[in-house]
Structure 1
Amino acid sequence: MPLVGCPAREIGTHLMDLLEKCRAFTRADEARDVGLYPYYPAFQGPAEGGKAVLGGAEVCMLGSNDYRALSADRQVIGAAQDAIARYGTSAAGSRLLNGNLDLHEELEADLADFFGFEAALIFSTGYLTNFGVVSALAGRGDHVFLDEEAHASLVDGAGLAKAAGAVVHCFGHSDPRDLARQLAAASTESILVATDGVFSMQGDLAPVADLVAVCEEYGATLLIDDAHGVGVLGRGRGVIEQAGMQGRVPLMTLTFSTALASQGGAVLADARTIDFLRHTSRPQIFSSGLSPADASAAHAALREIRRRVEAEPDALAASAYVRQALDALGFDVVESAGPIMAVRFPDQTSMMSAQRILLEYGVYTNAVLPTARAGHQLRIVCTDAHTPDVLEAAIGVFASLREELLPRFREAA
């Protein structure tokens, strides 16, 4: 019997109306129809030695965020296997109740120690870390200022904060003067400023020292999301240490899915802030604790990064070499300082065509969904695993592609 006032036929009609947008969505089909759809590739096995297997064929992997090549490290894998043998496969509950493990607390203590903060708090993913921190800290009476190219997790956290009454603003990308102008006009001193440390699409670095100076001048609280700087820059401690700003950034977030070769994320701050977030952040309270394998893998990767702290990552030299080579070939390479680089194209078709041709020649790159600033680009990443012979082979493919692509590129531009 249908619920009173909700006949089954009316429920069905509403569902059809809601899902009509799904049936009308054709952008992915259009790319599939012309053989240029680049998303959701199904790799077979791990990426090792700078290579991966896709469709049964070996490809040079120039898209992985495994910057220190630790996801296939024997000690990291062994730590995950040992954790499963001891704890099982799941934390089986939220950390607030029954899913808190000594593995979590040991990792939090070492994260805080390595990065120079009083305390740390682990979340189930890097996305949930930013989402949960921003939405818990900001609400009615607060203002949030985001870099206009901030990661979606910061933007979405600010969206939930806005729903709770916060006022959300954007300042110009990596523009401390625009931030200062807006802060000077702000109607409150309860202000959160949030930015990426390394911007994940083009690899450019935030002007950390200048942002610190502006936030200190206006009494704003600065959050640096250093997902793509940790493990690589600043002796493994990221952009805050590289900028010499240790102790002057109140909030830092990171993900385990890049250099820490795992899954999850963490926020670092003073002990009182961390305790507040432990009891108020909805993604923390209502998500299962990080799995034993993920926590142990991230901890093992952190120990290895600490061990290598005085050695510059091979990923940086590899990226600089590839960046210089592609620039010399005439590609439009975006200037960057870390392991991420971007090659720009004038339109989506030329970008997707380049991605497909490169893949046919055995080189995998990331076809980035366009943004207002980034436009149409291939995102290229080097890791510690990319040996000179692998890089030379990949550059050779770009060179062979050059004659076919660049004339059209220049005509379209």
Structure 2
Amino acid sequence: MSGEVPSTDAGPEADTSHGFDPDTWVATRKSDDLYRDLQPVDTVTARAQMAPDPKGSEPEYGDEQIVFAANNYLGLAHDERVQAATAEAARKVGAGAGASRLVTGDTGVHRALERDLADAKRAERALVFSSGYATNVGAITALDPNVVFSDELNHASIIDGCRLSEAETVVYDHCDPEALAAAMALREREGGDNEQWLVLTDSVFSMGGDVAPIADICDVAERYGAWVMVDEAHATGLYESGGGIVQREGLEDRVHIQMGTLSKALGSQGGYVAGSEVLVEHLLNAARTFVFSTGLAPPAASAAREALRVAREDERQRERLWANVDRLRDGLGSMGYEVWGDTQILPVVVGDRADALALGERLREHDVIAPAIRPPTVLEGTSRIRIAPMATHTTEDVDACLAAFQTAGSALGLI
């Protein structure tokens, strides 16, 4: 009969050949020791109570533990000054932006944050996105390069940005400017005339804690007229005047695009690009993750702005962080652990996946949260515990962490 709607009740014998099988996906991840779950915390501070994954139920929190696994490096997510700025923006402006910033979601709070970011990054202008991931994907695809040269250990958001841009991606050896130069020379010999090239690197690598040789990378890029984009996610706010490695090295005039996040040292949410006026004008028109996303919530923008102010003006926050870093690095090294990195990220490398997982579990038993990181997140044979201290950890917290590593490592025969 004309207009009759077919029944959607396929019955018990329904054909599922074109559907999906999430049961097998989950079972495979578990059998490959790659399964992860969500474990809620009761507060975003240096000490917190955690709960086993409650699925759809209410969390049941356990005893308080010391958190050495967060990126809240300056401890500002729970800072009273930041909380007050958050509440004030929610009251005056609203809990959410309500629309894309190109429609009605652009507020004075957003503009104030962008002015302060541009000043801290010594750039003409900044543009705030809803997340760091959205920033990298949106910026890289909007630039639409012909070729990208990407460090082999760059963050997943950079990798996905390269894929979505459909640029030819050349991966160069980690933190190796000579490898980058060789790759560019080869590309030029193979007919790379009239192409737009983009060099992509983290400044501080999140799993290794090491720092890219940005000045040397700029030397190579300038030799070929390429642009340089640096991801300062794990550096923003931790150096003089709230800047990152680019500011520490005085490279603002040589790095075309400075990217960073508001969700780590600044304790809020979102990401940003800092650069020239015309770059920002292009991105706000062409970056799909900006154009088609609701603007960052005003309370989050206000929180990030206040956190940036604290990071720039209150040197004690940074001094406490670096004092904790030094105490941990020295203590772990004296026990015989292999500690990598040159920054606030301290990878304690044990090599074997099973050893790293066992060490992470033993630390948890001693009320220290510092989970194991294993392949494919890191390279095979480099499984590790990634320690991330905060400025708000006390000396007693740090010493408790060291004691846990001593007891757990000795019991497992790792030291």
Do the structures match in fold with TM over 0.5? yes
Quick one: which amino acid aligns to residue 324 of structure 1? D
Whether contact under 8 Å (1:149, 1:173) holds in the other structure is: yes
- Aligned equivalent of 1:347: 352
Q: Secondary structure at the match of 1:249?
A: coil
Distance 1:192 1:70, change over 3 A: same
**From 126, 146, 159, the counterpart of 2:132:** 126
- Aligned equivalent of 1:359: 364
Distance 1:351 1:215, change over 3 A: same
Distance 1:321 1:39, change over 3 A: farther
Whether contact under 8 Å (1:138, 1:192) holds in the other structure is: no
How much identity, in percent, do the aligned residues show?
Answer: 33
Note the 1:247-262 alignment, pairs <5 A. 247-262=253-268
Whether contact under 8 Å (2:203, 2:211) holds in the other structure is: yes
Per-residue Cα deviation, 1:180-218 (whole angstroms, up to 9, x for no partner): 111122214410111100000111100111111111111
TM-score by length of 2: 0.89
Per-residue Cα deviation, 1:119-156 (whole angstroms, up to 9, x for no partner): 111000011001110011025xx111110100011110
Quick one: which amino acid aligns to residue 242 of structure 2? G
**From 154, 158, 170, the counterpart of 1:154:** 158
Separation in 1, partners of 2:178, 2:305 = 39
- Report whether the alignment pairs 1:51 with 2:60: no
- Aligned equivalent of 1:330: 336
Moved over 6 A (4+): 6-9
Quick one: which amino acid aligns to residue 53 of structure 1? Q
- Aligned equivalent of 2:208: 202
TM-score by length of 1: 0.89
- Report whether the alignment pairs 1:183 with 2:190: no
- Aligned equivalent of 2:103: 97
Quick one: which amino acid aligns to residue 386 of structure 2? R
Distance 1:364 1:39, change over 3 A: farther
Separation in 1, partners of 2:128, 2:206 = 21
Whether contact under 8 Å (2:138, 2:287) holds in the other structure is: yes
- Aligned equivalent of 1:266: 272
1:348: how far off?
A: 2.4
Quick one: which amino acid aligns to residue 42 of structure 1? P
Name stretches of at least 5 consecutive residues in structure 2 with no aligned partner.
51-60
1:345: how far off?
A: 2.6
- Report whether the alignment pairs 1:391 with 2:398: yes
1:283: how far off?
A: 0.3
Q: Bigger CA drift: 243-252 or 112-121?
A: 243-252
Whether contact under 8 Å (1:136, 1:281) holds in the other structure is: yes
- Aligned equivalent of 1:23: 24
Quick one: which amino acid aligns to residue 69 of structure 1? G
Distance 1:2 1:179, change over 3 A: farther
1:308: how far off?
A: 2.5
Separation in 1, partners of 2:84, 2:323 = 29
Separation in 1, partners of 2:183, 2:10 = 52
- Aligned equivalent of 2:54: none
1:24: how far off?
A: 3.8
Whether contact under 8 Å (2:346, 2:386) holds in the other structure is: yes
Aligned residues: 394
Separation in 2, partners of 1:313, 1:31 = 42
Q: Secondary structure at the match of 2:118?
A: helix
- Report whether the alignment pairs 1:404 with 2:411: yes
1:295: how far off?
A: 0.5
- Aligned equivalent of 2:55: none
1:230: how far off?
A: 1.1
- Aligned equivalent of 2:121: 115
1:309: how far off?
A: 5.2
1:366: how far off?
A: 2.9
Q: Bigger CA drift: 172-181 or 81-90?
A: 81-90
- Report whether the alignment pairs 1:171 with 2:177: no
Separation in 2, partners of 1:307, 1:356 = 39
Quick one: which amino acid aligns to residue 185 of structure 1? L
Whether contact under 8 Å (2:311, 2:318) holds in the other structure is: no
**From 293, 311, 323, the counterpart of 1:305:** 311
